[in-house]
Each structure stands twice: as C-alpha cells, then as structure tokens.
Amino acid sequence: MKFDPPLFPAKLIQRYKRFLADVELDDGSVITVHTPNTGSMLGCSSPGLRVWLRDTQNLKRKYRFSWEMSEMVDGVMVGVNTMISNHIVKEAIESGVAAELADYTNIKMEVPYGHERSRIDLLLTNGAGEQCYVEVKNVTARDEQGFTIFPDAVTTRGTKHLRELEAMVQAGHRAVIFYCVQREDTTAFRPADEIDPVYADTLRLVTKNGVEAMAYVAKVAPDEVCLIQPLVIDL
C-alpha cells in the first residue's frame, strides 16, 4: 500500500481518549490527530516518540491528519493503523506474496457471516466455488525476546472471531487467522498469554481444530507498507 503523498514526521506529545493524539510538528506548532488503533499500542505510544502522519486531504474531517506509524528509538518503523491491514493483506494475496492463499480468484471484504454477527475481513473464493474465510489482525507489539505478540490488550472481540473461524471449518470451509505484523524487527510471532490468556488458549484450540494461523512481516516506510515474508508462529 503506497502513501501519496508520503507521510510526514512529528513528535508525539500524548495519546488520549483512545482515538486522539496531540503532536508537535517540525515548525513547533501543535495539532490533534486521529489515532486509527483501538488497542493499547503497547510500546508504540510513548510521549516523545517520532511519529508519522498522513494528510487525508479531507477538509470536512474534524481531524484531518491521521497517525500512521511510530518510529522506535532504534529507528524501527511500526505501522499502527489497524484500518489498513486488511488492504495490505489483500494486496499480498493478489500479488502472490501470501503464497498459501494465491489460488483464490475472487476477494470480497467485510462480508457478514457467522452465528455471532461478525464480519469476515476477507472472503476468498476459487474457481471451484470453494471459500476461505480470512480474519486479519494488525500486530505492533514486541516482547523483550524479539517475538511480536498479539493481542496488546484483552480482546473479547478477537476471541469471538476465533470461534467464528472454527465454526466455518466445522461447516466445511477453509478458515485463516492472519497476523499482519507491521514491523520488521522480528523473526517470530506468538500469542500474548501474559496479556490475554483466554485469547491465547482459544487460538491454540481452534488451530488444533482446523483453523490455519499465518503471520507475515511487513516492510514499513513513510511511502509504502507491504508484506514481504512469512514469520514463524510459536503457539
């Protein structure tokens, strides 16, 4: 996914009210920006961090600018916008980067499904009419050992999504939980037992019952975010 125009930098002052943040621009002015992330943004929202903003160019929006990336103290870029992860994964499937899902010819987004009134992020269909349900999760947190982890806060909604995927497998379909890791300083992914043990245990259970877990790492830069390679998953 390309950014046009490219993102521009600022310094984070504070994140608050979940969806808002105050930042200082290079000219010293302070503005409030939209934060498109419902999680805790563990490790990615410390005051003083360099952040990267997108100009939506929408003058009707109350908060015209959107916080897209955080730059860690070691220079690693982390994509914090959970709203674009579906598009990043869709592009990876269409380009063949996500090779495990390359055989599907049709992709629909945000399709209602399941007994718990969910919406599947990506519904894939191949030439034979076979369907694959893909739930995408954006991953930004990293532990001290170098594992990227999910979730970064307790997520009952995420656990519900795992149950819905399991039900699709039981109905005879293929189902995938796809972790879109928007940072490059990692070689493996694991569920965050220390943050949400219920989610972690549910993930292990549904994968035993046929749900496939995939994790891909993204190249993250001010002009583009794109998935580049799979990660080892340690359940």
| Same domain flag for 72 and 132 | no
Residue 83 has pLDDT above 90, yes or no: yes
In a domain, 23, yes or no: yes
In a domain, 1, yes or no: no
What CATH number is attached to the domain comprising 12? 2.40.50.580
Q: Which two tokens stand for residue 80?
A: 């914090």
| Same domain flag for 51 and 100 | no
In a domain, 123, yes or no: yes
- The domain in which residue 203 lies consists of 82-233
Three-state SS for the chain is CECCCCCEEEEEEEEECCCEEEEECCCCCEEEEECCCCCCCCCCCCCCCEEEEEECCCCCCCCCEEEEEEECCCCCEEECCHHHHHHHHHHHHHHCCCHHHCCCCEEEEEEEECCCCEEEEEEEECCCCCEEEEEEEEECEECCCCEEEECCCCCHHHHHHHHHHHHHHHCCCEEEEEEEECCCCCCEEEECCCCCHHHHHHHHHHHHCCCEEEEEEEEEECCEEEEEEECEECC
- pLDDT tens, 205-216? 999 999 999 999
Residue 114 has pLDDT above 90, yes or no: no
Q: Rounded mean pLDDT of 139-152?
A: 96
Q: What is the pLDDT of residue 72?
A: 96
Q: Rounded mean pLDDT of 190-206?
A: 98
In a domain, 3, yes or no: no
Q: Rounded mean pLDDT of 66-87?
A: 96
Q: Rounded mean pLDDT of 124-145?
A: 96
Q: What is the pLDDT of residue 18?
A: 86
In the chain, % of residues over pLDDT 90: 92
Side chain identity at residue 194, one-letter code: E
Q: In what order do the strands lie in the sheet with 141-142?
A: 141-142, 147-150, 188-191, 232-233
Q: Please report which confidence band the pLDDT of residue 192 belongs to, taking 50, 70 and 90 as the band edges.
A: very high
Q: Rounded mean pLDDT of 162-177?
A: 97
